[in-house]
Structure 1
Amino acid sequence: MKTGSAGLALVAAAVFCASAVTQSRAQAETPVLAVAEIQYVDTSGEVMDQSADHFRRLREFEASLRTDLAASGKVQSVNLDCPPNACSIGDIDADQLLGMAQAAGAGYLLISSFHKMSTLVQWAKFDLVEVKSRNVVFNRLVTFRGDNDKSWRHAESFIVRQILDHEDQ
């Protein structure tokens, strides 16, 4: 009877250890992503100054990207060690951003830039760069209509799906 209990305890311990190893491997295999701040250019020529709204929407867009990608469980997010509001491809060159991503433990860096062409049209460019090889492994150039919170949230949801679909391939 004692031998049976000991055997059962060993089996339970083996299952527990195997589960911990599997979980550890799954965590180790989750891609680690750093998201740089988004560069923004407005050449729309609009009379009304919307720079404060654009700045707020950019920071919300970046935060939502990080949160939504990490919430998927397919990507782990890390922060870059940059000065606040000076961490976009317009502020720092790509090599420096990649170095910061590597220092943060990221395997990938998402670099983005937006260009507001007119009152209704914005272009958004996204490059996902593998830090080690410095190769672009995913890139998208998308347009989105509107310049309000709803259109920006819609664009963010779209690009998150694009990135996650890319990760599935």
Structure 2
Amino acid sequence: MTGRASGIATFGAAAALLSQMIQLSPGFSAAPLTVAVADFDYFDTSGEVRDQRAEHRARMLRFTELLRESLSSQGDYHVQPLECTDPPCTPINMQPARFIDASRRSGARFVVYGGIHKMSTLVQWGDIQLLDLEADKVLFRQNVTFRGDTDEAYRRAAAFVSGSVRDALEKR
């Protein structure tokens, strides 16, 4: 082997070893993955007489904020909102193709999106999805249910969803 070929082989071996050390060593970590968390749709078919749209809008905003905060809290994910010209930034509001385009323009590798449906005065359910924008595939889809139409119920739902999304990202 020539001196140059030997040097290239040594460099290649060193790079491979360094790559393994970074992946295996707890003190080393790769750059955080970028995750966009879109706004969430909300549907109320409970038939309740009192107009609760303002309360629900505020709770959905807080739900999304809590999800973003929880995912970014440990520093292993760079979490950002999705930008669009006509909020809310959801597949239903924007149409799916425009939503995907906006997600890709954000620079995120993954996007979390979904919606919450209030079925009755006590029961709500949500459909949450995690899309890998690079691989063009849904990595995770989960239906969640929760009781109550209170700030606390939304806080608990956001914490549960955040944990589920984290698990899905770690398993990818």
- Please indicate the TM-score interval, normalised by the length of the shorter structure: 0.7 to 0.9
Partner residue, 1:137: 139
How many residues are paired up?
Answer: 147
SS of the residue 1:113 aligns to: strand
SS of the residue 1:111 aligns to: strand
Partner residue, 1:152: 154
Unaligned runs of 5+ in 1: 1-17
Partner residue, 1:94: 96
CA distance in 1, matches of 2:64, 2:52: 18
Partner residue, 2:58: 56
- Contact kept, 8 Å, 1:43 with 1:117, in 2: the verdict is yes
- Contact kept, 8 Å, 1:42 with 1:115, in 2: the verdict is yes
- Contact kept, 8 Å, 1:78 with 1:105, in 2: the verdict is no
CA distance in 1, matches of 2:170, 2:160: 16
Partner residue, 2:30: 26
SS of the residue 2:89 aligns to: coil
Equivalent runs, 1:33-112 vs 2, <5 Å: 33-83=35-85, 85-112=87-114
SS of the residue 1:52 aligns to: helix
SS of the residue 1:38 aligns to: strand
| Deviation of 1:76 (Å) | 1.1
CA distance in 2, matches of 1:72, 1:126: 21
SS of the residue 1:36 aligns to: strand
| Deviation of 1:84 (Å) | 5.7
CA distance in 1, matches of 2:144, 2:169: 18
The runs of at least 4 consecutive aligned structure 1 residues that moved more than 3 Å come to 22-25
Q: Aligned letter for 2:112?
A: L
Instruction: Kindly report the root-mean-square deviation, in angstroms, between the aligned alpha carbons of the 2 structures.
Output: 1.8
| Deviation of 1:134 (Å) | 2.1
Q: Deviations over 1:58-87 (max 9, x none)?
A: 011111111110112232112322136331
Q: Aligned letter for 1:147?
A: D
CA distance in 1, matches of 2:61, 2:123: 20
CA distance in 1, matches of 2:137, 2:97: 12
CA distance in 2, matches of 1:89, 1:97: 5
Residues 147-156 or 132-141, more deviating: 132-141
